[in-house]
Chains A and B, each alone.
Chain A
Amino acid sequence: MAKLFLFGIGGTGSRVIKAVTMLFASGVKLENGFDTVVPIIIDPDTANGDLNRTKKILTKYQEIRLKTENPDGFFAQKINTVENLVIGIDNIKPSGFEFKLNGTSNQKFKDYIGYNNLDDIEKNFISSLFSKTHLESDLDVGFKGNPNMGSVVLNQFTTSKDFQDFGNAFARGDAIFIISSIFGGTGAAGFPLLLKTLNQGNNIPNSNVISQSTKGNLTLLPYFQLENGEIESETFIEKTKTALEYYNRTIIDTNQISSIYFLGDNAKLPTYENHSGKKEQKNDAHFIELIGALSILDFCKNINNFNGNTAVKEFGIEHDDDPINFKSLGIKTNEIIENPFKKFMMFSNYIKHPEGLNHAIGLSRWTLKKTTLDNNYFSNQSFKDDVVAFLDYWTEWVNELEHNNPTFSPFNKSISSENVHFKKLDIFNNLLLNNVDYSYEKEHTQLIKLFDLSIDKLIEKKII
């Protein structure tokens, strides 16, 4: 059994990790024996809205999974933190998914580099590399699209305790996947630095094993633009070209990585509000991030096929429909996500719709007899805090995908909002209840397994 260490750098990294978490929740699994995924978010902007939302989603996922005995459909993929792997206990702590960067809190960039202690010649040299705005920038809002700042601050990866823990948790057979955008500040600077550290850094535990491990990367090219403001999205393309040239020369040509996935979309760019960071930076989920999450699955699927030369991969949809739906995707992509997404959407809709779960409680046998899923279970705070809260995030994510540009709206009305199939689902819940495990210690076991099985039947019978 192997682990996949999933580094998400910056806001885009957080959003792709959110997308892959939704895939895992719906029952998608990694192939080739990767039983555990260890998300690690690197972002100096610790108040970033995207970062914190992703951390909350990962925490909810972990809560549900820890309270489910051997899930094999929904929530099957184990998600863990580096800290838990090192201490060997499954603690649930949102901060466990994040690598802290030292010295970025409440500090200006010029203080971080000790600008005031430099002599005049050094100051002039620094001024030729960084503008006054750069020097006066607060680091706790990130690098605001400036990779030249990011490359300085992020160079301290290896000194952190988190990184030492990562080294200790890494074992032979594990793999690394890095998610970054190329057009911003944190991701564009962070990816080459992190890769270099992983390949060459010898002051971290297990550095030999880490340097020899298989590594992949998802680089997101511009796929959104920003309203006028501090971050200038007109520079995204220019920055991308420059960075691509750099990646090509220093990473791809020299085979520093097994596989690199490029994704972008400049045909239908949504425009987001321009926030330089903190909680206001909370962009809506985007179709590209979902496809980016699929690159992680592809990487694991092909882990044994990489031959030493960097494989460069792209992605395209089969039909440029508006809105994009399951049929717009290629057959292989569709095979991966269609059924899991339909299943999870049905599950979510049933739990939250007044004609769904609320109608069945106390009336349908599966909530009454020989079941742990009785009124007590559904009134329990654990159900509301874990399952309902996660499904709220799922609904929010799906809605954002549906209202972004391009629009990804794959669910027909009968799954997304109507209740025509609830009765059939309750029939299967009754018929299949005895076939699923239950556990009083792991209280979500019966719910997660029952709905996974029952909705499978709805799909098998072509009801949804």
Chain B
Amino acid sequence: MTFEPIYQYFDTLFDVFDNQYSYLFTELYEESSYGYMFIISLAVPLILYLVFYYLLRLPYLTILHWLLVLFLVGLLTFGLEIAYLRDVLSEYLMSGDFEEADYTSDLVYFYSFLNVGFSIVFGIIFSFILKQWSKMYMHLPILKP
């Protein structure tokens, strides 16, 4: 399964794609980076909310604590995505061509923020799925359904 079309859609939506630097997108495609980015934005909320719903043993948590976990999901996703993309595109980030380096840097931040958005959406979806079987927090983030 390829995740490139999803990112392509947002590239177009936010007018990020630039023909001049199409080789950056090719590089990401050839390195399967779209897949890895997507997996990170999927895995981080899944892991954090698995821990929250099934391992945490604090009986008096509220929606504020749930939101704190969502914030951590975003923060961790952002950090991991930045680290990963900087690694994949390191050559271009350190390019002597400042315009290329700036564009690459902007692209790294764009994808990182985009993946933060994905991870937050996934965090919310996972919460509503995982809470069904949670004995401690089936009332979070909201009592219903």
Question: Which residue among B60, B62, B136, B139 has the maximum number of chain A CB atoms within 10 Å of its CB?
Answer: B139
- Count chain A residues whose beta carbon lies closer than 8 angstroms to a beta carbon of B: 16
Q: Does B143 make an interface contact (CB < 8 A)? A: yes
Q: Chain B contacts of A426 at CB under 8 A?
A: 59-60
Whether the Cβ atoms of B57 and A365 lie closer than 8 Å is no
Query: B residues 63-85 with Cβ under 8 Å of A?
Result: none
In the complex, which of the residues A360, A369, A434 contacts B59, with contact meaning CB atoms closer than 8 Å? A360
In the complex, which of the residues A363, A370, A427, A434 contacts B57, with contact meaning CB atoms closer than 8 Å? A427
Q: Hey, what's the 0/1 contact readout for A289-315 against B, CB within 8 Å counting as 1?
A: 000000000000000000000000000
Q: Does A364 make an interface contact (CB < 8 A)? A: yes
Q: Does A317 make an interface contact (CB < 8 A)? A: no
Cα of A434 to Cα of B135 in the assembled complex, Å: 8
Whether the Cβ atoms of A430 and B143 lie closer than 8 Å is no
Q: Chain B contacts of A365 at CB under 8 A?
A: 59, 135-139
Whether the Cβ atoms of B143 and A431 lie closer than 8 Å is no
Cα of A369 to Cα of B138 in the assembled complex, Å: 7
Q: Which residue of A lies closest to B57 (CB)?
A: A427
Give the shortest distance, in Å, between A377 (CB) and chain B (any CB): 16
Q: Chain A contacts of B60 at CB under 8 A?
A: 359-360, 363-364, 423, 426
Q: Chain A contacts of B137 at CB under 8 A?
A: 365
Cα of A360 to Cα of B136 in the assembled complex, Å: 13
Q: Does A433 make an interface contact (CB < 8 A)? A: yes
Cα of A423 to Cα of B59 in the assembled complex, Å: 7
Classify the interface of chain B: helix, strand, loop or mixed.
loop
Query: A residues 361-375 with Cβ under 8 Å of B?
Result: 363-365, 368-370
Give the shortest distance, in Å, between A125 (CB) and chain B (any CB): 75
Whether the Cβ atoms of A430 and B135 lie closer than 8 Å is yes
Q: Hey, what's the 0/1 contact readout for B121-145 against A, CB within 8 Å counting as 1?
A: 0000000000000011111000100
Give the shortest distance, in Å, between B84 (CB) and chain A (any CB): 36
Cα of A368 to Cα of B57 in the assembled complex, Å: 16
Whether the Cβ atoms of A431 and B62 lie closer than 8 Å is no
Q: Chain A contacts of B136 at CB under 8 A?
A: 365, 427, 430-431
Give the shortest distance, in Å, between A57 (CB) and chain B (any CB): 32
Give the shortest distance, in Å, between A213 (CB) and chain B (any CB): 49
Q: Which residue of B lies closest to A365 (CB)?
A: B139
Whether the Cβ atoms of B135 and A431 lie closer than 8 Å is yes
Give the shortest distance, in Å, between A188 (CB) and chain B (any CB): 54
Whether the Cβ atoms of A370 and B59 lie closer than 8 Å is no
Cα of A430 to Cα of B57 in the assembled complex, Å: 9
Cα of A446 to Cα of B137 in the assembled complex, Å: 19
Q: Chain B contacts of A431 at CB under 8 A?
A: 135-136
Whether the Cβ atoms of A368 and B59 lie closer than 8 Å is no
Given A363-B62, A364-B60, A365-B136, 8 extra CB contacts under 8 A = A363-B60, A365-B135, A365-B137, A365-B139, A369-B138, A426-B60, A427-B59, A430-B59
Query: Which residues of B pack against A, CB within 8 Å?
Result: 57, 59-60, 62, 135-139, 143
5 A-B pairs, CB-CB below 8 angstroms?
Answer: A365-B59, A369-B143, A427-B136, A429-B59, A430-B136
